[in-house]
Amino acid sequence: MSFVMQPHLRVVDSAPERDFRADMHAALAAPQRSISPKYFYDARGSQLFDAICELREYYPTRTELSLLRGHAAEIAALAGREAEVVEFGAGSLRKVRLLLDALENPASYVPIDISGEHLAQAAAQLRSDYPGLAVHPVAADYTQPLQLPAGTRKSGMRLGFFPGSTIGNFDPEQALRFLRMAARVLRGGALLLGADLVKDPAVLHAAYNDEAGVTAAFNLNLLARANRELGTDFDLDGFAHGAFYNSPQRRIEMHLVSRRAQRVQLDGQTYLFEDGETLHTENSHKFSVDSLRALAAEAGFTAGPVWTDPNRLFSLHWLAAPA
């Protein structure tokens, strides 16, 4: 992939609209319709996800923030001086501030996110708040092979940061593939990874079905985005948000459920939805500490310290990348 330069932002030229269009056609034509959750994250979707993180029911963000605050000194000691921080799926850059504040003279920060507009705004604010830090945002799909900007490292380690249990959005094969790619990118450094833990299904159900309906709006925004960018004619009132815990698979599933029999047009092609038929938009796998460490070891990492909250809702993992 090649980098396209814009002021303070590197954009990987990967034809995102073409990919979205092709993936939407494939999803609508499939017997069991499913599309990648990466398409949630246009500017509006990123704003809605930030709002989800503030909800009373949504425990992962506040729990992970608490873990980062409580163990920042230990993490900084492991990272050493002049670390280069690479964040996969950077979003609003809220959590990384706790890490940057704790690190000793971090050399640079490379946030990677698929939503270029949202990333550019967040990076500009971070650059203003940390004037001595070199910030090199990259608008890219971090699930694809990555080439990081040259000249961003000094003498310290390359520290990857992958919070929010985003690893749970991948199926097991995708998660393994991502971790192997991360191990190559971070060679000789480490990955600080957040992973949501298996828990009471009622707690999980509430987290993905909030009373205010923000998660529903986030889910439905995928259809609104398709209408805006691809020219589809999804009737947003014709679909409902659905989320449930699939216990045997240890995952939350999010779906958009058709409220009636209806037709959807894309590029002159008609796709039929039956009443109750769904478009599967996201999985959020939950882990045990041991299962996450085993997955990381299979990808080539050496598992280090693990930090969990007293209620064992969430976990932070230090994973050393092979040299």
Whole-prediction pTM = 0.89
Report the number of distinct structural domains present in the chain: 1
Q: Residue with structure tokens 């041991």?
A: 290
The more confidently predicted of residues 221 and 6 is 221
Q: pLDDT band for position 217 (50/70/90)?
A: very high
The pLDDT tens digits of the residues spanning 1-53 come to 333 334 455 554 445 678 999 999 999 999 999 999 999 988 899 899 999 99
pLDDT class of 321 with cuts at 50, 70, 90: very high
Among 114, 88, 93, residue whose Cα is nearest residue 182: 88
Tokens standing for 96? 């990384």
Q: How far is CA 79 from CA 6, 72, 159, 214, 296, in A?
A: 31, 10, 7, 36, 19
pLDDT at 13: 46
Q: How far apart are CA 307 and CA 61, in angstroms?
A: 15
Q: What is the pLDDT of residues 121-151, one digit of tens each?
A: 888 889 999 998 999 988 888 888 777 776 5
Task: Look at residue 16 in the predicted model and tell me its pLDDT.
Answer: 62
A 10 A CB-CB count for 209 gives 17
Tell me the per-residue pLDDT of 103-116, one tens digit each, with 9 for 90 and over.
999 999 999 987 77
Question: Residue 42 sits in a domain of what CATH number?
Answer: 3.40.50.150
- At 256-295, the pLDDT tens digits run 999 999 999 999 999 999 999 999 999 999 999 999 999 9
* pLDDT 10s digits, 183-207: 999 999 999 999 999 999 999 999 9
- Residue 160: strand pairing partners: 86, 191
Phi first, then psi, for residue 108 (nearest 5°) are -165, 165
CB 254 within 8 A of CB 242: yes
Do β-strands 269-273 and 314-320 pair in parallel, antiparallel, or remain unpaired? unpaired
Q: How far apart are CA 245 and CA 26, in angstroms?
A: 26
Cα–Cα distance, 83 to 313 (Å, whole number) = 29
Query: Which residue segment(s) compose the domain that 264 sits in?
Result: 1-323
Report d(CA 62, CA 289) in Å as an integer: 19
Averaged pLDDT for residues 248-253: 97
For position 120, what pLDDT does the model report? 86
Determine the distance from the C-alpha atom of residue 186 to the mean position of all C-alpha atoms in its chain, rounded to a whole number: 18
Provide the pLDDT for residue 8: 56
CA 30/CA 284 separation, integer angstroms: 21
Q: Output helix, strand, coil percentages for the chain, rounded to the nearest 5.
A: 40, 25, 35
pLDDT digits (tens, 9 = 90+) for 44-94: 998 999 999 999 999 999 999 999 999 999 999 999 999 999 999 887 788
pLDDT of residue 6: 40
**Considering only CA atoms, which of 197, 169, 180, 150 is closest in space to residue 298?**
180
